[in-house]
Structure 1
Amino acid sequence: MAEMDPISTVLGRLPPEITATDPDVVARYLTDFRHFRTGAARAVLRPRSTVEVQAIVTLCAAHGVPLVPQGGNTSYCAAATPSPDGGELVLSLERLNAVRALDAANLSLTAEAGCVLSVLQEAADAAGLMLPLDLGSRQSCQLGGALSTNAGGISVLKYGMARDLVLGLEAVLPDGQLLNVLQPLRKNNTGYDVKQMLLGAEGTLGIITAASLKLARKPAQTVTAFLAVAEIDALTTLLARAQTLTGENITSFEYVSQHSLSLLLAAQPGLRHPLETPAQHYVLMEAQTCSPVLALEEAVGTLLEELMGEGLVSDGTLANGGQQRDQLWYLREHIPEAEVANGGSVKHDVSVPTSALPAFITKASALVDAHGAGGRLSIYGHVGDGNVHFNVVAPVGAEPAVYKPWFEREVSPRIYDLAVAMGGSFGAEYGIGIVKLDLLDRYGDKAKLHMMRALKAALDPANIMNPGKVVRG
């Protein structure tokens, strides 16, 4: 009797309730969020508990079967997409979706990796608190994926990246061992902070099954402003002034270019421009405080008066309620949809020192004007943390499927070279996945790459954890 192949052996030893082999079901897990790549897999594994994740990993380690962990599948870098050869199994964390604990006095929440971010935000809100991690994909991204990619989002300026919000972690290592450092402690100085190795590792060193997160006091006041900025060089000055006058209560300070806003307004004619006088540069600024007595709105009003009096801001509006705030944030968060409506964009998720951001945008725009064959700019991002999404849409009448690869080959390297030359990075918040492996090879620090390969080899010598992502096999 012929022996079964390793994948068949693994599937044969797992409970049928957690395996899905129907091609129509499996197909939903095989294409990345941006439809860059479609892989193949004979099954999707959907464990219901950490114990079942351990059983899966232990079996796969014993038989040399690679696993591709997947959360909400919202990665921009195909980090959760299996290879086309069908030699990997997809492991979805979607059924690990319990909120295990919420300790209001400790300002902490412990939840499983498959919890959708918006559900966790609602749980915190119901307890009179706030989960600071906030992404545009909040309705679909899952906690494990957000931590595995060290997601950024719109509140990084005040609260930091995803890794900055993690107090404790539970994860299954490549040999099936359970790493349990889940305690929601703010001080735990007992050797290496091993959980940090898994945060941002995109599932290459283990599978996150649960995490304890920091919560914050729910804002008692929120003031949101949309400002027309006279000159882009004023961005860093505006941020410094805003932080000073509000007592460091600025949570978001987002840049939106006229290019991006125009794309969105054209794609969705039902929207209206929030200001009477258009400008080339805008800032969406939000200030929040949990204090009910601090005069936050007065501080923001004083700020706007000063900035407009000095000519740094030419126009502006303050949201007069939650609905208007939502409308302003809609404009910022739906720019990617406008790019998709125009055939998609070549995305450059770059960061530079905050002080260098205006100069980077100016110089990179000049590069596109000189070498981009009429490409249309769409620039927006997070001024407060130096992360700009410098995107380029195909010219009107050009075929995006032809133009975008040409631009990535001929012009994108100039943009990345500029960012690195200005002390920045080619990757700010999207991660590496498959898409940016070549960029990591080109721009990554050699010693850091050596350490990453050594760590991968030490923890996952059989290379069964999301092979081919982040670290070349």
Structure 2
Amino acid sequence: MAEQIIAALEKIVGANQVLRGDRAKPYLTEWRRAFQPVALAVVRPGNTGEVAALVQSCADFDCAVVAQSGNTGLVGGSAASDARRHVIVNLERMDRVREIDADNATMTVEAGCTLADAQQAAADAGLYFPLTLASRDRCRIGGNLATNAGGLNVVRYGNTRDLVLGLEVVLADGRVWHNLSGLRKDNSGFDLNDLFVGSEGALGVVTAAVFKLYDPVVQQVTALFALDAPEQAVALQRRLIAASGHNLTGCELMSRQAVSLACTHIEGCHEPFEVDHDWYLLVDLASSAQGHWLHEVMAQVVEHARRDGLLSDVVIAHDDERAAALWHLRESLPPAQVAEGASIKHDISLPISKLPMFLARALPAVREALPGVRPCPFGHVGDGNLHFNLSKPAGADDETFLAQSETAHTVVHDIVAEMGGSIAAEHGIGRLKVEALSRYKQPVERDMMRAIKAALDPDNRLNPGVIVD
């Protein structure tokens, strides 16, 4: 039977695009090494018609389709798990920017396009695509859509969902939903775009999207604040939003431990101040309006913050090189943790006002539960999303530390749930958090999710095991 399936797949995309054995290995490597993916084959279609034919063929042979784009996900969302009936449909060949409509300020781009290439295409057209992640050179649009990625500009431009005006989706039965009109207003029924964004390939295979574009940034000022407490970060971000007329684009909280690891392990990262501080807040003010008034805004906010005791020190970048160095420090935090050894990761969100209370509760709680642990919280304070990561105790064995993951997750997620937050802010649920979702989601919410899954994928052929059990 396996050879019959392979022959059918090869007939659709060609033998060179059906990968098995050593050729498939790069697509069977999970980013965090939390899963050991296996699949019958990895198939690389070149267009939407081929994706539709593949989905239909897999249905004919009772196979499941696991959609994959950049394979940089952090929750096992594309980690296929059945060597007999899981077929990975990798979309990296579908990497075209189909259209840029300058007058409508939109861009139609395929799911296999890297985020960096999409950004560059918009820039070449004299426009700006604001979605940005540290992994922009590797991650692809399909994954950004599948997880509703947030990123570094979310406080001003929103999550991926907020940038989407339309989608092209292959459904579980092989039909294609074409909705690439680029309309900004369409109340002719349920909002199906929102249904598929963030669905992690469990409801359909997204093959293309229409995104909003913006005028390019012509003035920008970057600053790094040294703080004594997270409460100061919350107060500063409110002041910056108000003073700039909602032109705060980036607002990133970093703990002392996280910054220390970056400066230790990552080339080009340096201590930003002569004296160490407990917390840092990295911010960008940016606007497409001509002038240099944002520099004046930043200076005024700094002056008033000093007066009110909201900061200990500050570095303001007066040129692009200095600004890039400050952002390099922030973007180096994840690889620095990898270099340090094992870490237990949490991707949580709370109302911004509750972040200081969460940290006040969670930091002592994890230190009590895991003696010697080194918390490395950092993240997007502008939208309430923290990566509450825990590095192993100095000198500890990786495997021994990771064996305590369930304890750590329970401690952190229980606090998040008690405070009305979410255990999955921007990385998704994938396969990693399905069991946790059943614990923290309301039963009625889980029932609605199952009903939607059953309606769009009644035979559970699309990424089975993801999100919905």
Q: TM-score, structure 2 length as denominator? A: 0.97
User: Quick one: percent identity of the two aligned structures?
Assistant: 39
Q: Matches of 2:87 and 2:301 in 1, distance apart?
A: 55
| 1:429 maps to 2:401 | no
- Contact 1:18–1:48 (Cα < 8 Å) also in 2: no
Please give the alpha-carbon distance, in whole angstroms, between the structure 1 residues aligned to 2:241 and 2:399: 43
Match of 1:312 in 2: 310
- Measured after TM superposition, the shift of residue 18 of structure 1 is 5.7
8 Å Cα contact 1:39/1:86 also seen in 2: no
User: What is the distance in 2 between the residues matched to 1:58 and 1:205?
Assistant: 15
Match of 1:43 among 34, 38, 41: 41
Q: Give the alignment of 1:98-117 within 5 angstroms.
A: 98-117=96-115
Q: Which amino acid aligns with 1:387?
A: N
Alignment pair present for 1:120 and 2:112? no
SS in 1 for 2:81: coil
Aligned to 2:438: 441
Shift of 1:80: 0.7
Cross-structure match for 2:80: 82
Change (3 A) 1:190 1:267: same
Deviations 1:308-332 (A, max 9, x none): 1222111111112111111101111
The range that moved more, 151-160 or 77-86, is: 77-86
> Matched residue of 1:216: which SS?
coil
Secondary structure of 1:114's counterpart equals: coil
Deviations 1:1-44 (A, max 9, x none): xx667634633643424632341111111121111112222321
Query: CA–CA distance in 2 between the matches of 1:174 and 1:121?
Result: 30
The one of 185, 189, 192 aligned to 1:191:
189
Partner SS state of residue 226, structure 1: strand
What is aligned with 1:410? 407
Q: Which residue of 2 aligns with 1:265?
A: 263
> 1:164 offset after TM fit, Å?
0.8
SS for the counterpart of 1:256 is: strand
Instruction: Give the Cα separation in 1 of the matches to 2:308 and 2:20.
Output: 65
Name the residue aligned to 2:362. Answer: 364
SS of the aligned residue for 1:433 comes to coil
- SS where residue 39 of structure 2 aligns? coil
Matched residue, 2:232: 234
Instruction: Report the residue type matching 1:450 in the other structure.
Output: D
3-state secondary structure, aligned to 2:85 = coil
Q: For residue 372 of structure 2, what is the aligned residue in structure 1?
A: 374
Task: After TM superposition, give the deviation of residue 410 of structure 1 in Å.
Answer: 2.0
Cα RMSD over matched residues? 1.5
Aligned equivalents of 1:433, 1:191: Cα separation in 2: 29
Task: Kindly indicate whether residue 109 of structure 2 is the aligned counterpart of residue 148 of structure 1.
Answer: no
Among candidates 456, 462, 466, match of residue 453 of structure 2: 456
Alignment of 1:388-407 (within 5 A): 388-406=386-404
Determine which of 286, 289, 308 is the counterpart of 2:287.
289
What amino acid is the match of 2:261?
Answer: L
Call closer, same or farther: CA 1:230–1:8 in 2, change over 3 Å. closer
Q: 1:468 aligns with which of 461, 465, 469?
A: 465
SS in 1 for 2:12: coil
After alignment, is 345-354 or 56-65 more displaced? Answer: 56-65
The verdict on how the C-alpha distance between 1:169 and 1:441 changes in structure 2, with shifts beyond 3 A counting, is same
Q: 2-side partners of 1:38 and 1:234: how far apart?
A: 42
Question: For the residues of structure 2 that align with 1:136 and 1:69, how far apart are their CA atoms?
Answer: 22
Q: How many residues align?
A: 469
CA distance in 1, matches of 2:37, 2:84: 7
Pick closer, same or farther for the CA change 1:113–1:308 going to 2, 3 Å: same
Partner of 1:19: 17
Q: Which amino acid in the other structure matches residue 445 of structure 2? A: K
Query: CA contact under 8 A between 1:230 and 1:311: conserved in structure 2?
Result: no
- Letter of the 1:469 partner, please give it: V
Distance 2:301 2:171 in 1: 51
Residue 70 of structure 1 pairs with residue 51 of structure 2: no
Residues 6 and 18 in structure 2, CA contact (< 8 A), matched pair in contact too: no
Q: Distance in 1 between matches of 2:119 and 2:268?
A: 29
Query: Deviations along 1:214-252, whole A, 9 cap, x unmatched?
Result: 011111101000010133222221111111111111011
Tell whether the 8 Å contact from 1:130 to 1:215 is kept in structure 2 after alignment.
yes
Aligned residue number for residue 387 of structure 1: 385
Could you tell me whether the CA contact under 8 Å between 1:79 and 1:434 is conserved in 2? Answer: yes
Write the distance in 2 (CA, Å) between the matches of 1:271 and 1:351: 27
**1:354 and 2:352 are equivalent in the alignment:** yes
**Contact residue 266 and residue 332 of structure 2 kept, 8 A:** no
Give the aligned partner of residue 51 of structure 2.
53
Matches within 5 A, 1:317-336: 317-336=315-334
**TM-fit CA distance, 1:277:** 2.4
Task: Look up the match of 1:209.
Answer: 207
**Structure 1 unaligned runs (5+)?**
none
Which stretch shifts more, 7-16 or 58-67? Answer: 7-16
Residue pair 2:40, 2:83 contacting (<8 A) in 1 also: no
1:302 equivalent in structure 2: 300
Q: CA shift at 1:126, angstroms? A: 1.2
- Residue 62 of structure 1 deviates from its aligned partner by 2.0
- Equivalent residue of 1:58, what SS? helix
Which of 169, 172, 183 in structure 2 is aligned with 1:171? 169
